[in-house]
Amino acid sequence: MIVLGIETSCDETAVAVIKDGRQALSSKVFSQIFKHKQWGGVIPEVASRMHLETINRLIHDALAEAQITIKDITAIAVTQGPGLVGSLMVGFNVAKTLAWIHQKPLIPVNHLYGHVCANFLETDLEPPFLCMLASGGHTQVIAMPDFTNMQIMGETVDDAAGEAFDKVARLMDLAYPGGPHLDKLAQTASDTGSYRFPVPKVGDYNFSFSGLKTAVLRLKEKISAEQWENDKAQIAKAFQECIAKTLFEKVLLASQNTQLHSIVLAGGVAANSAIRARFREEFTPENGFNLIVPSLKYCTDNAAMIASAGYFLYKYGSHSHVPADPNTLQQEVYARAS
């Protein structure tokens, strides 16, 4: 079964062709970061326009690289939300129109479920498993009892992990989006010096990152500008090690309490080198774990994960066929965009 995936929830236009939910025949991502970085963040109106300008070419390229035509596609999967409404509308309307014209089933996909499904790409992962999902807007520990049901065990009570990375990176005058730049800076430090940030204490599986962000701000105010500049890399390293420790400890607790030993990472923040290293050090086969970490290109936003999600929803879960009532689906996009 071949699924065409379309993702336009934020500042990446992405189209992919996936076979049987796991094999990428093509995966195209056009990042708008070069445009938005001049403003230090995503401008929604600009994002929607750029999706419009790019999407048709990307669909053409993804099909060409997969060496198929749209007639060979079994179904079309598209991100329905959460995300920027105007951006979602572009991808959703293109997908809906293609489904309508070519009489293919349309499968609306939750973006977060898509991130989880990035772990099915290039692997033979089977549920049940635990997923640590950390993206720009969400931080969740999720239990997946089967292929399509997400049981959210805990989530952030304030900032998401990606948000904390981006805000602290801004304090360090790093370019948008700050996460990957902070990661690179941290890797230039051999140690954390005398800098330590405590793991925030919130109940069970929940997270809180706003205090950590404030702790970095207070540190910046306390030390001299010169020391801040000199020690920035060490501070970045201490900050990201604190996040890595936090995520690890929550997943470990979830694993102990659920007896699930199959662990996966997902979302843009899962691209972070310290988090990947910490999870790889701790969740080893020797310790009784099976860990899957998606390749970097499938951590940040892409359409391969959406097509994979579409496949599993089509196979095991509920899905809508060619929309009988396009207006209802349109309203759903609005409802799920927040």
List residues near ligand KG4 by CB under 6 A: 10, 135-137, 162, 165-166, 177-180, 183, 267-269, 271-272, 300-301
CA 259-135-107 angle, 5° bins: 85
Q: Which is nearer to ligand KG4, 68 or 150 (CB)?
A: 150
The Cα–Cα gap between 312 and 21 comes to 7
DSSP 8-state symbol, 205: T
In the complex, minimum distance from the CB of residue 223 to ligand KG4, in angstroms, rounded to a whole number: 23
Contact of residue 269 among Zn ion, ligand KG4, none (CB under 5-8 Å per partner type):
ligand KG4
In the complex, minimum distance from the CB of residue 301 to ligand KG4, in angstroms, rounded to a whole number: 4
3-state SS, residue 300: coil
Amino acid identity at 266:
A
Contact of residue 87 among Zn ion, ligand KG4, none (CB under 5-8 Å per partner type):
none
Q: Which is nearer to ligand KG4, 177 or 310 (CB)?
A: 177
The Cα–Cα gap between 21 and 8 comes to 20
In the complex, minimum distance from the CB of residue 36 to ligand KG4, in angstroms, rounded to a whole number: 12
CB atoms within 10 A of CB 299: 24
Q: Which is nearer to Zn ion, 105 or 267 (CB)?
A: 267
Under a CB-based contact definition with an 8 Å cutoff, are residues 323 and 24 in contact?
no
In the complex, minimum distance from the CB of residue 131 to ligand KG4, in angstroms, rounded to a whole number: 13
Contact of residue 231 among ligand KG4, Zn ion, none (CB under 5-8 Å per partner type):
none
In the complex, minimum distance from the CB of residue 268 to Zn ion, in angstroms, rounded to a whole number: 6
Q: Which residues bind Zn ion (CB under 5 A)?
A: 135, 301
3-state SS, residue 42: coil
Beta partners for residue 16, in sequence order: 5, 27
Residue 332 burial (C-beta neighbours within 10 Å; 0-12, 13-18, 19+): middle
Amino acid identity at 196:
R
Q: Which is nearer to ligand KG4, 64 or 175 (CB)?
A: 175
Contact of residue 165 among Zn ion, ligand KG4, none (CB under 5-8 Å per partner type):
ligand KG4
Amino acid identity at 92:
F
Residue with tokens 């801004």: 170
Contact of residue 262 among ligand KG4, Zn ion, none (CB under 5-8 Å per partner type):
none
Q: Which is nearer to ligand KG4, 234 or 272 (CB)?
A: 272
The Cα–Cα gap between 298 and 318 comes to 24
Q: Which is nearer to ligand KG4, 306 or 313 (CB)?
A: 306
